[in-house]
Amino acid sequence: MTFPAEVQIPTQDLFRLDGRSIFISGGAGAVGTTIGKAILESGGDAVFSDMVSSPDPDTWKSLEDTATKNGTKAWYHQLDITDAESVPKVFDDIRKELRFPFRGLVACAGISGECDACDYPIDVFRKIVDVNLTGTFLITQAVAKEMHAAEVTGSMVLIASMSGLVANKGINTAPYNASKSAIHQLTRSLAAEWGHPQNTFPGRTPGDANPNPNEERKPYPPIRVNSVSPGHIETPITGAAKQRGLVSQWEKQNMLGRISQAEEYRAPILFLLAPGSSFMTGADLRVDGGHCAW
């Protein structure tokens, strides 16, 4: 199903998200709340989700105030994105609240852990991959189903990392790096599958994943899928890294001589969510201060 180019949008509206609901996983974290506020300021309603039962009260009050000021809405739902049975149930509850269909996703949820590879506990390795990769897939799957049901176009932004492109010097985080590299490939694969019916061969190979191989696929409006690869970000959890002297080392490893702030990802992510990036899909937007170009 081909949709025409969005060429009639006024320039001042290229970053607007009016009439859209945007889902944010990892929505209680520093990046998730910062991006969510930007979405609310740009005309979009925002659904925040995270593992904690409720977000920080002061932060949530600020988000509600932002929504009121801009005529938008904000909701919070506790959600374990790795729980395949819980995700659809939470979306059943969310669907009853929305004013507008989901037209966007920002997949921020992710964890890391530092350990030498020979000593890495396999259960921790699996947890990192489960959250960062499997959880991201489950949430993209759930949001895509909502977009398909509403028959609307949409845009997804998966938070990858420069660590999916390079091995970070001096810190041993093999499972995190591998999981973020997988996000780059997941982005490309979903962008291909959800961009246009011509991108998928007719028919299906019978197997455990295809119990109905002869079922005809229905064409849907396109969903764009892109990733953002941040560099090092200053958040509340970087305190330990500062004490070890890691932050000062990170600052030397990029071209701008400092690490980033969460606010610096607002414009790149809004760009990918909004109509201004209408011909962009399957791409990675690297925002790393030049770290990978050194």
For the chain, the domains span 11-293
Over residues 158-168, the mean pLDDT reads: 97
CB atoms within 10 A of CB 246: 18
Helix (H) or strand (E) holding 260: strand 260-261
Residues with Cβ within 8 Å of 88's Cβ and at least 6 positions away in sequence, in order, are 142
* Residue 180 annotated among the catalytic residues of the structure: yes
CA distance 274 to 122: 40
Q: Is the pLDDT of residue 237 over 80?
A: no
CA distance 223 to 239: 38
Over residues 270-286, the mean pLDDT reads: 98
11-293 classified as CATH 1.10.730.10:
no
From 37, 180, 220, 265, active-site residue = 180
Spell 189-198 as b/e; 16+ CB within 10 A means b.
ebbeebbeee
pLDDT band at 1 (very low <50, low <70, confident <90, very high): low
- Is the alpha carbon torsion for 111, 115, 117, 122 positive or negative? negative
pLDDT tens digits along 117-145: 999 999 999 999 999 999 999 999 999 99
pLDDT at 274: 98
pLDDT at 122: 98
From 37, 73, 76, 176, active-site residue = 176
Over residues 52-81, the mean pLDDT reads: 98
Check: CB of residue 47 under 8 Å from CB of residue 75.
Answer: yes
CA distance 181 to 229: 10
* Residue 176 annotated among the catalytic residues of the structure: yes
CA distance 37 to 131: 24
What's this model's pTM, rounded to 2 decimal places? 0.96
